[in-house]
């Protein structure tokens, strides 16, 4: 009996080693307003490796791809673990004001889009000092795509990866979404965005638009929509990969195709059956949105393959 238990314990020990294909190290970067924090997901037993810095999407999205607005998909963490299996490290970060980076944002009305760009540049300059790192790539998901584009203009990287990134400016994307979901609000939103472009504050905002145009967020929105991703991606001279899911309910495939037109040298991959949170999903909205709360559901395998191949070529 003793020998049997010993052999089972040994098998479990071997299994735990073989399945532990990644490890985590805590990372931080100092800024004038406070510490930014993240996780470096490393391939197990590898001494040298490339790193992908994964910039989160819009809203209160944390380093793992989750937020308090109902997303618990764990997409970024799952993607990083898949990369580790291919001997690629991933730097997952909490945006300033979010999760463990919350202290770095003192007041909501003080944040500007360029702060996120500066933070991305700071993370890149920090991670490249690690002697284990061979190359640094920046990847941006959704809103993070534009942040990554601008960061890659400011600091040398081995390549840039846009994941579900729009080609239009933020105001045009939001108005387009309203025209589909709440068409009666689109004209009012368009008018308010135009006022912000002229530095005219909005004293009153309809309840339906409060979440995106409340007074404390107006300076951020104004600083964000002054950039057009299509224009900015055309300025990049590094290798570029553009990936987009065919069942993404938030960013259409036409946006990825437009980015490709603006950056003709880029690789473009439309991933069939992948939604906005990088998982397999149908085009039925209720079924698609249900995956936003499925942390056990794997990320799309084709997405992993495409990015791993891109990193390997550079």
Domain ranges of the chain: 21-168+229-313, 170-226
Between the alpha carbon of residue 244 and those of residues 158, 293, 294, the distances in Å are: 21, 20, 20
- Give the mean pLDDT of 172-199: 91
Find the DSSP H helices in 164-295: 170-181, 186-197, 210-213, 218-225, 229-233, 253-262, 285-290
Q: Write the pLDDT tens digit of every residue in 39-77.
A: 999 999 999 999 999 999 998 999 999 998 889 999 999
45 Cβ contact list (under 8 Å, min separation 6)? none
- Give the mean pLDDT of 274-289: 96
Torsion angle defined by CA atoms of residues 275, 277, 281 and 286, in that order, rounded to the nearest 10 degrees: -100
What residues form DSSP beta bridges with 270? 244
The more confident residue out of 227 and 2 is: 227
pLDDT recorded at residue 2: 38
pLDDT at 16 over 50: no
pLDDT recorded at residue 23: 94
**Does the 21-168+229-313 domain belong in CATH 3.40.50.1820?**
yes
pLDDT recorded at residue 20: 57
pLDDT at 1 over 90: no
pLDDT at 257 over 50: yes
With b for 16 or more beta-carbon neighbours within 10 A and e for fewer, the 60-91 pattern comes to: bbbbbbbbeeebebbbbbbbbbbbbebbbbbb
Query: Quick one: CA dihedral 97, 176, 70, 249, positive or negative?
Result: negative
CA distance linking residue 273 with residue 162, whole number of Å: 18
- Give the mean pLDDT of 193-221: 91
pLDDT band at 11 (very low <50, low <70, confident <90, very high): very low
**3-class secondary structure, 177:** helix
The more confident residue out of 16 and 292 is: 292
Can you give the pTM of this predicted structure? 0.91
pLDDT recorded at residue 180: 85
CB 136 within 8 A of CB 128: yes
DSSP string, 227-253: --HHHHHTT--S-EEEEEETT-SSS-H
Q: How many CA atoms lie within 13 A of 67 on its CB side?
A: 13
pLDDT recorded at residue 67: 93
- Total length of the chain: 314
Q: Write the pLDDT tens digit of every residue in 89-148.
A: 999 999 999 999 999 998 999 999 999 999 999 999 999 999 999 999 999 999 999 999
With b for 16 or more beta-carbon neighbours within 10 A and e for fewer, the 264-278 pattern comes to: eebbbbbbeebbbbb
């Amino acid at each position: 009996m003793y020998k049997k238990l010993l052999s089972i314990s040994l098998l479990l020990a071997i299994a735990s080693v073989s399945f532990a294909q990644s490890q985590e190290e805590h990372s931080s970067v100092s800024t004038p307003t406070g510490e930014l924090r993240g996780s470096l997901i490393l391939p197990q037993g590898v001494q040298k490796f490339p790193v992908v810095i994964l910039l989160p999407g819009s809203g209160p999205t944390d380093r793992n791809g989750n937020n308090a607005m109902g997303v618990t998909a764990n997409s970024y963490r799952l993607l990083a673990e898949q990369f580790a299996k291919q001997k690629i490290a991933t730097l997952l970060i909490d945006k300033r004001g979010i999760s463990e980076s919350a202290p770095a944002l003192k007041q909501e009305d003080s944040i500007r889009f360029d702060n996120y760009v500066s933070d991305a540049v700071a993370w890149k300059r920090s991670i490249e000092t690690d002697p284990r790192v061979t190359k640094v790539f920046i990847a941006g998901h959704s809103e993070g795509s534009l942040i990554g584009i601008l960061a890659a203009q400011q600091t040398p990287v081995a390549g840039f990866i846009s994941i579900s990134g729009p080609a239009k400016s933020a105001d045009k994307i939001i108005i387009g979404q309203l025209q589909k979901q709440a068409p009666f609000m689109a004209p009012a939103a368009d008018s308010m965005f135009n006022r912000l472009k002229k530095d005219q504050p909005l004293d009153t905002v309809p309840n339906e638009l409060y979440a995106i145009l409340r007074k404390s967020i107006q300076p951020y929105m104004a600083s964000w929509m002054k950039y057009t991703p299509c224009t900015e991606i055309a300025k990049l001279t590094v290798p570029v990969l553009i990936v987009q899911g065919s069942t993404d309910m938030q960013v259409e495939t036409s946006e990825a195709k437009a980015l490709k037109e603006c950056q003709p040298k880029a690789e473009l991959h439309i991933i069939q059956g992948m939604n906005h949170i990088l998982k397999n999903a149908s085009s039925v909205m209720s079924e698609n949105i249900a995956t936003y709360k499925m942390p056990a559901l794997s990320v799309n395998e084709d997405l992993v393959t495409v990015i791993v191949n891109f990193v390997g070529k550079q």
